[in-house]
């Protein structure tokens, strides 16, 4: 193609068409015109980005695989610019880019781009504006993607956490129905027995004993021995041993059983013991239901606090301790899965910081999640916060293998990850760095074998309590 024809086509290009003719001519003389076939990759994930592509006709796209298959991250059409741009910091491709239909591009190598910045001022300016637009698009898109990934992890952990108390409630309600029936039957039998005031007093003593003492959580063998002892006592007194299990769950003693057996015998004694034991069981099951319900309520409150889903996206004075504790709570399922011990050390009277709660909680969730990934089975993660001068410093550390020195300078780079395929996007730390910066903070880290610590320093709120 004649240079004049190419210059004319470049003059119609949406991105660079406004550049002076002499600069478009420079571009035509130094660029390489290429015809791209459908599906042939222009770049490969992890490989150096060496070329800028001015798209003349057709369509191409960048695909990024986050573990569930390639997803189209961005698409370029005729008039767009793909690949490398002047002053871009991108070094390696985050995914594979390819033509979606027969496409014609003018390609410019990295070395020629450097030369272009000196020879073509206005053309470079136009391309830098496009770089800013692309960075804005990538930032908003990837921040949203990372939020969705974090939400997925949160949802999975929350489902696991809610399942335990929900199952406990279901189990307790089922047992509660049986125990209420036993209590009703025993009450009816006691009413028909026409017991004396003295007998009723002794029975009430046993019932009060069952209700007044908190049942101990005994080792299985000790509990079995207690159940056998009570079953033997029931058998000696000619009573049904089926209630031994229920009585064994209370704190009633053999001496107290002997006391009531001296004034009440036979069917009335059996009814009295079942009445006392079932009453105690009902109270215990009600307490378990209450505890499980409170656990569900605390989890929901933790998630609400973690996501700030009921608050406007505005900067406010924030209690960092509450945010950190909520982050630890919503990640408890992962903590138990790896048997990792998470310790928290918060300085008393920790001052507030001014910031965006949802953003900082996303940072805490990301850093603690990474620490749990890095910690070995049975390892430990430390979460600490203290005032240092006019800043609050949050430290999150683990006793994992550490970050190799040769990659420490790259861990905040977009799309850089050391996790296996499908376990990391390479965006978590990059986004954490941006969010901390948006909250006027600084994030740093130190890492040696056996110890890695990330530090987030945030300025104390001017009107926060000291």
CATH number of 328-459: 3.30.565.10
pLDDT digits (tens, 9 = 90+) for 110-151: 889 889 988 899 988 988 888 766 655 565 555 555 555 555
Is the pLDDT higher at 292 or at 229? 229
User: What confidence score (pLDDT) does residue 424 get?
Assistant: 46
User: CA 354 to CA 463: how far, in whole Å?
Assistant: 9
3-class DSSP state of 63: strand
Q: Give the residue extent of every domain in the chain.
A: 3-119, 155-298, 328-459
- 452, 349 in Cβ contact below 8 A? no
The residue assigned the tokens 């999975």 is 156
**pLDDT over 70, % of the chain:** 83
Stated length of the chain: 466
Whether 101 has a pLDDT exceeding 60, the answer reads: yes
Whether 246 has a pLDDT exceeding 90, the answer reads: no
Whether 383 has a pLDDT exceeding 70, the answer reads: yes
User: What confidence score (pLDDT) does residue 340 get?
Assistant: 92
Residues 6+ apart with CB under 8 A from 419: 373
Judged by average pLDDT, the poorest of 226-230, 285-289, 314-318 is: 314-318
Tokens of 6: 């190419």
As a whole number, mean pLDDT of residues 337-351 equals: 91
pLDDT digits (tens, 9 = 90+) for 426-462: 457 877 888 898 899 999 999 999 999 999 999 998 7
User: What confidence score (pLDDT) does residue 274 get?
Assistant: 81
**pLDDT over 90, % of the chain:** 23
As a whole number, mean pLDDT of residues 288-297 equals: 78
User: CA 281 to CA 176: how far, in whole Å?
Assistant: 8
- Same fold for the domain at 3-119 and the one at 328-459? no
User: CA 461 to CA 450: how far, in whole Å?
Assistant: 35
Tell which phi-psi region holds residue 325, choosing left (phi > 0), alpha (psi between -120 and 50) or beta.
Answer: alpha
Whether 266 has a pLDDT exceeding 50, the answer reads: yes
User: What confidence score (pLDDT) does residue 392 get?
Assistant: 94
Mean pLDDT of the chain: 81
Torsion over CA of 317, 322, 327 and 331, rounded to 10 degrees? Answer: -170
Judged by average pLDDT, the poorest of 215-219, 271-275, 341-345 is: 215-219
Most confident of 17-31, 228-242, 410-424: 17-31
Superfamily of domain 3-119: Jelly Rolls (2.60.120.10)
User: What confidence score (pLDDT) does residue 133 get?
Assistant: 67
Q: How confident is the model at residue 466 (pLDDT cuts 50, 70, 90)?
A: very low
Tokens of 106: 């003018």
User: What confidence score (pLDDT) does residue 372 get?
Assistant: 92
Whether 30 has a pLDDT exceeding 50, the answer reads: yes
């Amino acid at each position: 193609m004649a240079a004049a024809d190419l210059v004319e086509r470049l003059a119609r290009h949406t991105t660079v068409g406004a550049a002076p003719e002499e600069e478009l001519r420079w571009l035509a003389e130094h660029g390489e015109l290429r015809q791209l076939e459908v599906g042939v990759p222009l770049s490969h994930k992890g490989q150096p980005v060496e070329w800028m592509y001015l798209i003349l006709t057709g369509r191409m796209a960048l695909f990024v695989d986050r573990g569930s298959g390639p997803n189209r991250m961005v698409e370029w059409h005729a008039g767009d610019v793909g690949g490398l741009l002047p002053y871009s910091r991108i070094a390696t491709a985050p995914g594979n880019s390819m033509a979606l239909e027969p496409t014609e591009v003018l390609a410019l190598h990295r070395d020629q781009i450097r030369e272009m910045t000196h020879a073509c001022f206005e053309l470079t300016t136009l391309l830098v504006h496009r770089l800013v637009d692309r960075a804005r698009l990538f930032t908003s898109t990837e921040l949203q993607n990372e939020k969705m990934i974090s939400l997925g992890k949160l949802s999975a952990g929350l489902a696991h956490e809610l399942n335990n108390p929900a199952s406990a409630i279901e189990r307790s309600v089922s047992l509660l129905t049986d125990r209420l029936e036993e209590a009703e039957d025993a009450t009816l039998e006691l009413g028909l027995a026409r017991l004396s005031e003295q007998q009723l007093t002794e029975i009430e003593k046993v019932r009060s004993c069952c209700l007044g003492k908190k049942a101990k959580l005994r080792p299985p063998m000790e509990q079995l021995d207690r159940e056998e002892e009570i079953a033997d006592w029931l058998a000696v007194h000619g009573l049904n041993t089926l209630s031994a299990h229920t009585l064994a769950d209370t704190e009633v003693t053999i001496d107290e059983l002997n006391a009531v057996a001296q004034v009440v015998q036979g069917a009335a004694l059996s009814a009295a013991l079942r009445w006392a034991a079932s009453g105690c069981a009902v109270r215990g099951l009600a307490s378990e239901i209450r505890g499980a319900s409170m656990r569900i309520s605390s989890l929901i409150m933790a998630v609400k606090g973690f996501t700030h889903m009921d608050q406007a996206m505005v900067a406010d004075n924030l209690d960092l301790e509450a945010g950190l504790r909520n982050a630890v709570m919503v990640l408890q399922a992962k903590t138990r899965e790896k048997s990792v011990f998470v310790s928290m050390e918060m300085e008393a009277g920790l001052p507030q910081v001014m910031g965006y709660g949802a953003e900082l909680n996303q940072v805490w969730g990301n850093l603690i999640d990474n620490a749990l990934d890095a910690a070995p089975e049975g390892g430990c993660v430390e979460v600490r916060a203290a005032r240092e001068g006019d800043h609050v410093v949050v430290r999150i550390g683990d006793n994992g293998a550490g970050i190799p020195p040769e990659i420490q300078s790259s861990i905040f780079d977009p799309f850089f990850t050391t996790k296996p395929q499908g376990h990391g996007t390479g965006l978590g730390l990059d986004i954490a760095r941006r969010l901390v910066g948006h909250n006027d903070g600084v994030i740093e880290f130190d890492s040696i074998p056996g110890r890695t610590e990330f530090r987030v320093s945030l300025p104390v709120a001017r009107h926060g309590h000291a």
